[in-house]
């Protein structure tokens, strides 16, 4: 391992890419600390102290922005508008044939889709920053709002839209001149940057007696086990054998060969978790507006959609014992809806990103077939059959990892900051991005070794 790291810096091209990537990531972290003009930081800090529990939409935006949202900096929106624009375009490709046709035009089509994504990012950033400006005014976080509301809204929109656009540009520069996927690296680096803060919260909880020290090795063991499981699932795929028939190319007869069609276990990635969390954040938010003060019908109804709701078997049965019975606390309406929505979006997102009918037609076009399956509809039906069952395994695993932090927090009262290490969206993103980056570094190393071997062989031949 250490030798491989040392080899990285022996290759000038790879060394340049890695240093460029690190430089861009440092620029991103600096930008996350540039405050939006005319905002009172003390008022923001006081607000976030009341938001220590729960996994609402605000917490999710803060995670994806690398805690820039918590400080209301110029990069408070993070890269979420870009992700939203990308998802919207993917959905539009399914229902808008013209957009789907553009996407299939090769490199030119890809550039057009990227351009549309950039335009969508700017529009969404402007819209979301306007909403944030209105929220800041309503919370009285700015002294400028008293007499110059429109001016403050305009300044906030320009600042945050510029920050998100600049962040998008940084991500594209990493993909173009650096190593790894730029957007994914920015998200993962922002999540990792919050780990020291989370560790500090955990140490403080132990010091004041809110967390027993025995939980430290338990959480560490859970981190190792879950990380290994995520790696296996992320890399896992069902390989369907593909037989290529003999064909004539020019004057040569090309013999048949066998390849594989890999169907990933978790095709949708973390998109289902993001959608489910965002959707379930709205009922509690709406009911809190309709029932202020924590009393009344709407307030009681909103408690059913709370992650820490007391409407669960543990309190219904009047249990007072600990141990395994604590797990009943997490069995509530929120968990049930979260599970259903996550599994639904796993299948939904897989369906719009992988089309068995198109795959079967492409196999037929190039003279390939699945052994024992006739080309055309029988092939597409078989691929769909296998994909449905593989996706079920991925969906169950994704729900399990996503709900693991909820179990620790709701059932055993572990601070949220520490549960980010043992599961949830953040850990899945970080491990996925690290795996992808390591693969690209490894491919550069293998390519370099192969070229060096050829040069040495030629030198020996000439000698």
Same domain, 451 and 354: yes
Separation between Cα atoms, residue 73 and residue 167, nearest integer Å: 13
Same domain, 285 and 147: no
This prediction's pTM: 0.83
Whether residue 203 is contained in a domain is answered as no
For residue 338 the two structure tokens come to 């979260």
Number of domains in the chain: 2
Whether residue 202 is contained in a domain is answered as no
Residue-level pLDDT at 161: 95
Burial 10-20 (b: 16+ CB within 10 A, else e): ebeebeebbeb
Among residues 193, 225, 255, the one where a domain terminates is: 193
Same domain, 184 and 291: no
Q: Give whole-number Cα distances, 39 to 86, 167, 304, 311, 371, in Å.
A: 31, 21, 35, 39, 65
Among residues 149, 169, 193, the one where a domain terminates is: 193
**DSSP reduced 3-state for 445:** helix
Separation between Cα atoms, residue 185 and residue 437, nearest integer Å: 9
Residue-level pLDDT at 455: 39
Separation between Cα atoms, residue 283 and residue 453, nearest integer Å: 62
Same domain, 126 and 275: no
Whether residue 127 is contained in a domain is answered as yes
**Which of residues 178 and 450 earns the better pLDDT score?**
178
For residue 158, what pLDDT band results from cuts at 50, 70 and 90? Answer: very high
Among residues 164, 193, 222, the one where a domain terminates is: 193
Whether residue 1 is contained in a domain is answered as no
**DSSP reduced 3-state for 310:** coil
Same domain, 160 and 294: no
The CB-based long-range contact list for 347-353 (8 Å cut-off, 24+ gap) reads 347/388, 347/391, 347/395, 349/267, 349/268, 349/271, 349/272, 350/267, 350/268, 350/387, 350/391, 352/90, 352/91, 352/93, 352/94, 353/90, 353/267, 353/268
Least Cα distance to 189 among 176, 201, 180 occurs for 180
Residue-level pLDDT at 339: 92
Whether residue 4 is contained in a domain is answered as no
Separation between Cα atoms, residue 161 and residue 233, nearest integer Å: 36
For residue 452, what pLDDT band results from cuts at 50, 70 and 90? Answer: very low
∠ CA 87-175-190, rounded to 5°: 70
For residue 24, what pLDDT band results from cuts at 50, 70 and 90? Answer: very high
Same domain, 284 and 221: yes
Same domain, 240 and 159: no
Same domain, 351 and 220: yes
Whether residue 339 is contained in a domain is answered as yes
For residue 292, what pLDDT band results from cuts at 50, 70 and 90? Answer: low
Whether residue 286 is contained in a domain is answered as yes
Residue 369 has pLDDT above 80, yes or no: yes
Residues contacting 417, CB < 8 A, separation 6+: 197, 198, 199, 201, 202
Q: How many CA atoms lie within 13 A of 349 on its CB side?
A: 27
Whether residue 6 is contained in a domain is answered as no
**Which of residues 138 and 264 earns the better pLDDT score?**
264
Q: Give whole-number Cα distances, 254 to 241, 248, 338, 395, in Å.
A: 19, 6, 52, 41
Same domain, 178 and 108: yes
Same domain, 224 and 251: yes
Residues contacting 91, CB < 8 A, separation 6+: 352
Q: Which domain holds residue 324?
A: 209-463
For residue 110 the two structure tokens come to 């890809």
pLDDT digits 0-9 by tens, 371-381:
888 888 899 99
Separation between Cα atoms, residue 7 and residue 1, nearest integer Å: 10
Question: Which CATH number is 402's domain given?
Answer: 1.10.3370.10
Judging by DSSP bridges, how do beta strands 247-249 and 252-254 pair with one another? antiparallel
Same domain, 144 and 233: no
Same domain, 217 and 136: no
């Amino acid at each position: 391992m250490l030798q491989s790291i040392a080899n990285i810096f022996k290759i000038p091209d790879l060394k340049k890419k890695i240093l460029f990537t690190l430089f861009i990531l440092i620029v991103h972290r600096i930008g996350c600390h540039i405050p939006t003009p005319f905002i009172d930081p003390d008022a923001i800090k006081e607000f976030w102290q009341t938001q220590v529990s729960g996994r609402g939409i605000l917490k999710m935006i803060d995670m994806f922005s690398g805690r820039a949202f918590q400080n209301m900096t110029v990069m408070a929106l993070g890269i979420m508008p870009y992700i939203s624009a990308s998802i919207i375009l993917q959905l539009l490709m399914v229902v808008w044939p013209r957009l789907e046709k553009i996407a299939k035009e090769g490199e030119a089509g890809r550039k057009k889709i990227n351009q549309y994504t950039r335009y969508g990012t700017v529009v969404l950033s402007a819209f979301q920053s306007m909403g944030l400006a209105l929220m800041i005014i309503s919370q009285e976080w700015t002294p400028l709002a008293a007499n110059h509301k429109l001016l403050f809204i305009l300044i906030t929109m320009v600042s945050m839209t510029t920050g998100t656009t600049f962040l998008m540009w940084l991500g594209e520069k990493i993909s173009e001149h650096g190593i790894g996927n730029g957007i994914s690296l920015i998200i993962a680096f922002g999540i990792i940057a919050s780990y020291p803060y989370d560790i500090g919260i955990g140490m403080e909880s132990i010091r004041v007696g809110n967390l027993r020290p025995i939980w430290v090795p338990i959480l560490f063991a859970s981190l190792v086990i879950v990380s290994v499981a995520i790696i296996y699932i992320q890399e896992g795929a069902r390989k369907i054998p593909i037989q290529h028939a003999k064909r004539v190319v020019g004057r040569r007869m090309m013999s048949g060969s066998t390849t594989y069609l890999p169907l990933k276990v978790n095709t949708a990635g973390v998109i289902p978790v993001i959608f489910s969390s965002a959707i379930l954040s709205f009922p509690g938010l709406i009911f809190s507006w309709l029932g202020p003060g924590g009393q009344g019908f709407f307030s009681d109804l909103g408690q059913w959609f709370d992650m820490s709701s007391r409407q669960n078997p543990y309190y219904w049965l009047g249990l007072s014992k600990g141990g395994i019975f604590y797990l009943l606390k997490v069995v509530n309406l929120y968990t049930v809806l979260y599970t259903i929505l996550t599994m639904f979006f796993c299948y939904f997102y897989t369906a719009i990103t992988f089309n068995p009918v198109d795959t079967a037609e492409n196999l037929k076009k190039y003279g390939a077939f699945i052994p024992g399956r006739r080309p055309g509809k029988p092939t597409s039906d078989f691929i769909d059959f296998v994909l449905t069952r593989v996706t079920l395994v991925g969906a169950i695993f994704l729900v399990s990892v996503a709900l693991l932090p909820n179990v620790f927090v709701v059932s055993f009262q572990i601070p949220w900051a520490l549960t980010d290490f043992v599961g949830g969206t953040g850990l899945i993103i970080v491990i996925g991005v690290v795996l992808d980056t390591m693969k690209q570094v490894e491919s550069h190393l293998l390519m370099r070794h192969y070229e060096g071997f050829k040069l040495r062989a030629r030198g020996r031949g000439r000698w």
